[in-house]
Amino acid sequence: MIENKCKNCDFWVRKEDTKLGLCRRYPPTLNTHLIPRPMKGVIGGSQQVSLEPVDTINWPTTREDDFCGEFKND
């Protein structure tokens, strides 16, 4: 019997030489991340940083030994 793990799922695509992969069961989703960006000038001997929102669209990253209720293997 095949284990219900991501590495055995038809929807999972392994990233090169890792134990991580992409779950492609559903379309990619929009994610907003806060990326630190240096601000001009130095205040009190340290450089100030602002957090800038950056949108990315991607499939969820999972480990090969993860699992979910959507597992499919034909």
Encode pLDDT of 40-70 as tens digits. Answer: 766 666 678 889 999 999 999 999 999 888 8
Neighbours of 64 (CB within 10 A): 16
- Candidates 46, 7, 41; CA nearest to 23 is 7
CA distance 67 to 53: 31
Encode pLDDT of 11-43 as tens digits. Answer: 999 999 999 999 999 999 999 999 988 877 666
